[in-house]
Amino acid sequence: MATEEVPRIGVFVCHCGHNIAGTVDVERVAEIAAHYPNVEFATHFMFMCSDSGQQLIRDKIEEFSLNRVVVASCSPRMHEPTFRRVVEEADVNRYCFEQVNLREHVSWCHMREPEAATEKAIDLIRMSVARAALLVPLEVKTVSVEPHTLVVGGGVAGLRAAIDIDSRGFKVTLVEREPELGGNLAKLSTLYQGNEKASDVIERMVLAARISENLTIMTDSEVVDVEGYIGNFDVTVKNNATDKTEKLRVGAIIVATGFQSWVPEGIPPYGMSLDVITLAQLEEMKRDDKLLCPSTGKPPKKVMFIGCVGSRQPGVQGHEHCSRYCCTAMVKAAADITEITDEVLILYDDIRTFGKGHEEVHRSAHEKFVMFSKFDRTKPAKTTVADGALSVKWRDILAGDNLEFHPDLLVLVTAMIPPEGVEKVSQLFSLTRSADGFFNEEHIKLAPLTTHTAGVMIAGAAQSAKDSTDSTTQASGAAAKAASLMARGEVEIESTVAHVLEELCSSCHTCATACPYGAISFDTSKKPEIAVVTEAECHGCGTCAAGCPSSAIIMRHSTDEQITAMVEAFLMPPPVMGGGDS
Amino acid sequence: MTATVTISKEWIPRIAAFCCNWCSYAGADLAGTSRIQYPSAVRIIRVNCTGRVDPEFVLNALDKGADGVLVSGCHPGDCHYTSGNLKMRARWTLLQMAVEQAGINPDRIRLQWASASEGQKFADGVRELTEKVKNLGPFRRGWQ
The pLDDT tens digits for A100-132 are 999 999 999 999 999 999 999 999 999 999 999
Report chain A residues whose CB lies below 8 A from the CB of B84: 516, 541-543
Dihedral, CA atoms, A417, A188, A326, A427, nearest 10 degrees?
20
Top CATH class, A261-415: alpha beta
Domains, chain B, in order of start with CATH, read: 15-135 (3.40.50.960)
A513 touching B (Cβ < 8 Å): no
More confident residue, A351 or B142: A351
What is the pLDDT at residue A227? Answer: 84
Encoded amino acid at A281, one letter: Q
- How many CA atoms lie within 13 Å of A553's alpha carbon, on the beta-carbon side? 32
pLDDT > 80? residue B10:
no
Q: Which residues contact A270 (CB under 8 A, 6 or more apart)?
A: A263, A264, A276, A278, A412
Q: What is the pLDDT of residues A456-500, one digit of tens each?
A: 999 999 999 999 999 999 999 999 999 999 999 999 888 899 999
More confident residue, A228 or A326: A326
A177 touching B (Cβ < 8 Å): no
CA distance A545 to A403: 66
Q: How far is A100 from chain B (nearest CA, A)?
A: 10
A430 touching B (Cβ < 8 Å): yes
Mean pLDDT of A362-382: 95
- How many CA atoms lie within 13 Å of B101's alpha carbon, on the beta-carbon side? 7
What is the pLDDT at residue A576? Answer: 62
Decide if B32 and A75 are in contact by the 8 Å CB cutoff. Answer: yes
- How many CA atoms lie within 13 Å of A332's alpha carbon, on the beta-carbon side? 25
Q: Determine contact, residues A206/A176, Cβ cutoff 8 Å.
A: no
Top CATH class, A9-138: alpha beta
What architecture is domain A498-555?
Answer: 2-Layer Sandwich (3.30)
Report chain B residues whose CB lies below 8 A from the CB of A124: 43-44
pLDDT > 80? residue B112:
yes
What is the pLDDT at residue A317? Answer: 66
pLDDT > 60? residue A17:
yes
Report chain B residues whose CB lies below 8 A from the CB of A541: 48-49, 51-52, 80-81, 84
Mean pLDDT of A175-195: 95
CA distance B124 to B114: 10
| A39: β partners | A9
HEC string of A46-108?
CCCCCHHHHHHHHHHHHHCCCCEEEEEECCHHHHHHHHHHHHHHCCCCHHHEEEEECHHHHHC
Q: What is the pLDDT of residues A490-509, one digit of tens each?
A: 998 888 999 999 999 999 99
Strand, coil or helix: A533: strand
pLDDT > 50? residue B86:
yes
Dihedral, CA atoms, B9, B14, B20, B25, nearest 10 degrees?
40
Tell me the residues of chain A between 126 and 165 that have a Cβ less than 8 Å away from chain B: 127
More confident residue, B106 or A315: B106
What is the pLDDT at residue A349? Answer: 94
Q: Determine contact, residues A507/A521, Cβ cutoff 8 Å.
A: no
pLDDT > 60? residue A296:
yes
Percent of chain A with pLDDT over 90: 86
- pLDDT band (50, 70, 90) for residue B51: very high
Q: What is the pLDDT of residues A432-453, one digit of tens each?
A: 788 788 998 988 888 899 988 8
CB-nearest partner of B43 from A124, A432, A543: A124
pLDDT > 70? residue A516:
yes
Q: Determine contact, residues A362/A351, Cβ cutoff 8 Å.
A: yes
What is the pLDDT at residue A55? Answer: 98
pLDDT > 80? residue A15:
yes
A560 touching B (Cβ < 8 Å): yes
CA distance A379 to A493: 54
| A232: β partners | A229
Mean pLDDT of A135-141: 93
Q: Which residue of B has its CA nearest to A573?
A: B64
Mean pLDDT of A552-572: 96
CB-nearest partner of A75 from B29, B81, B87: B29
DSSP A288-321: TT----TTT-SPPSEEEEEEEESSS-TTTTS--S
Q: How far is B125 from chain A (nearest CA, A)?
A: 14
* Of the candidates B48, B25, B14, B46, the residue with the CA atom closest to the CA atom of residue A128: B46
Q: Which letter, b or e, does each residue of A170-183 get, where b requires 16 or more Cβ atoms within 10 Å of its Cβ?
A: bbbbbbbbeeebbb
CA distance B23 to A452: 13
CA distance A275 to A277: 6
Looking at every residue in chain A, the average pLDDT score rounds to: 94
What is the pLDDT at residue B144? Answer: 40
Tell me the residues of chain A between 93 and 112 that have a Cβ less than 8 Å away from chain B: 101, 103-106, 108-112
* Of the candidates A145, A146, A144, A148, the residue with the CA atom closest to the CA atom of residue A216: A148
Intervals of CATH 3.40.50 along chain A: 9-138
A117 touching B (Cβ < 8 Å): yes
A550 touching B (Cβ < 8 Å): no
State yes or no: cis peptide before B138, omega within 30 of 0: no
Report chain A residues whose CB lies below 8 A from the CB of B91: 546-547
A556 touching B (Cβ < 8 Å): no
Percent of chain A with pLDDT over 70: 97
- pLDDT band (50, 70, 90) for residue B6: low
Encoded amino acid at A373, one letter: S
Q: How far is B51 from chain A (nearest CA, A)?
A: 4
What is the pLDDT at residue A78? Answer: 86
CA distance A282 to A329: 11
CB atoms within 10 A of CB A313: 17
- Substitution target from B52, B64, B70 for chain A, most A beta carbons within 10 A: B52
* pTM listed for this prediction: 0.76
* Of the candidates A291, A273, A269, the residue with the CA atom closest to the CA atom of residue A282: A291
Q: Determine contact, residues A374/A267, Cβ cutoff 8 Å.
A: no
Q: Which residues contact A525 (CB under 8 A, 6 or more apart)?
A: none
Intervals of CATH 3.50.50.60 along chain A: 148-259+418-491, 261-415
Report chain B residues whose CB lies below 8 A from the CB of A571: 14, 16, 61, 64-66
Encoded amino acid at A247, one letter: K
How far is the CA of A4 from the CAs of A135, A358, A486, in angstroms?
10, 65, 38
What number of H helices and E strands is found in chain A?
14, 28
- pLDDT band (50, 70, 90) for residue B67: very high
The two beta strands, B42-47 and A148-152, are unpaired
CB-nearest partner of A541 from B31, B65, B81: B81
Q: Determine contact, residues B73/B23, Cβ cutoff 8 Å.
A: yes
Mean pLDDT of A246-266: 97
DSSP E strands, A501-564 = 520-523, 530-533, 553-555
pLDDT > 70? residue A272:
yes
* Of the candidates A557, A428, A468, A549, the residue with the CA atom closest to the CA atom of residue A191: A468
**Backbone angles phi and psi of A324, in degrees to 5:** 65, -5
What is the pLDDT at residue A4? Answer: 64
Top CATH class, A148-259+418-491: alpha beta
The two beta strands, A302-309 and B109-113, are unpaired
The count of residues in chain A is 582
Decide if A112 and B38 are in contact by the 8 Å CB cutoff. Answer: no
- Burial level of A379, CB count in 10 A (0-12/13-18/19+)? exposed
Report chain B residues whose CB lies below 8 A from the CB of A558: 47-48, 52
What is the pLDDT at residue A406? Answer: 97
- pLDDT band (50, 70, 90) for residue A1: very low
CA distance A542 to A533: 12
- Integer-rounded Cα Rg, in Å, for chain A is 30
| A222: β partners | A238
- How many CA atoms lie within 13 Å of A68's alpha carbon, on the beta-carbon side? 25
CA distance A41 to A132: 14
What is the pLDDT at residue B2? Answer: 55
What is the pLDDT at residue A527? Answer: 87
Q: Which residue of A has its CA nearest to B79?
A: A432
What is the pLDDT at residue B142? Answer: 46
| B71: β partners | B18, B111
How far is the CA of A192 from the CAs of A60, A337, A364, A576, B104, in angstroms?
61, 14, 12, 71, 66
Q: Which letter, b or e, does each residue of A274-284 get, where b requires 16 or more Cβ atoms within 10 Å of its Cβ?
A: ebbbbbbbbbe
CA distance A188 to A569: 64
Name the strand (E) or helix (H) holding A482.
helix A468-488
* Of the candidates A411, A414, A350, A416, the residue with the CA atom closest to the CA atom of residue A383: A411
